[in-house]
Structure 1
Amino acid sequence: MIITNVENVPGKVIAEHYGLVSGSTVRAKHLGRDFMAGLKNIVGGELKGYTELLAESRAESVERMKTQARALGANAIINIRFSTSSVAQGASELYAYGTAVKLEDSNE
């Protein structure tokens, strides 16, 4: 499955258009991560626990989006985007979306 944030893939043409596909996950903060983040706010530095949480969330959202695209018969998702939102105190949604298409080699 080709996944890209651009509208066209060099050397390929869009043979079929299946429309919007998406995947999301809602994750809550972990008490241990929250404690360590509080300490980092005092001394500064990267909040690695949150970085890992966001990386896991992105991966899960993309996998769910790919599953939806495969079910439609797509072999690519173009023009993908990510969005985040706060759902509840300490919980956030990461939403991935794009356009499911079937790409074929161009004849040029």
Structure 2
Amino acid sequence: MELSNLDTLPNKTIVKHLGLVQGSTVRAKHAGKDLLAGLKNIVGGELKSYTELLNEARDEAIRRMVQQARATGANAVLNVRFSTSNIAAGAAEVMAYGTAVVVE
């Protein structure tokens, strides 16, 4: 499966447009990690536990988007974008979405 944030793929021709596909996941932070992140916030620096959490969430959202694209018969997803939103205190959704196509 080819993924691109462009609306075309160089040296490829779109032969079929299959529509919007998306994948999402909602993740919550671990209370212990949240406490440590709060302490880190006082002294500054990267909140590595949050970085790791968001990387895992993006990877899962992409996997689910690709799974949906494959189910439509696509071999590429173009115009891939990410969106995040807070769902509840301590929980956030990460969504990956794009246009499923068949390219040659």
TM-score range, shorter chain: over 0.9
Displacement after TM superposition at 1:29 (Å):
1.1
Equivalent positions of 1:49-88 (< 5 A) are 49-88=49-88
Distance in 1 of aligned mates of 2:70 and 2:55:
22
> Is 1:47 the counterpart of 2:51 in the alignment?
no
Cα distance in 2 between the residues matched to 1:21 and 1:75 = 12
| Structure 1 segments unaligned to the other structure (5+ residues) | none
Matched with 1:95 is: 95
Decide which moves more: 49-58 or 26-35. 26-35
- Amino acid across the alignment from 2:40: K
The structure 1 segments of at least 4 consecutive aligned residues displaced by more than 4 Å after TM superposition are none
TM-score (norm 2): 0.98
- Show the 5 A alignment for 1:12-31: 12-31=12-31
Q: Which runs of 5+ in 2 are unaligned?
A: none
**Root mean square deviation, CA, Å:** 0.5
TM-score calculated relative to the size of structure 1: 0.95
How many residues are paired up? 104
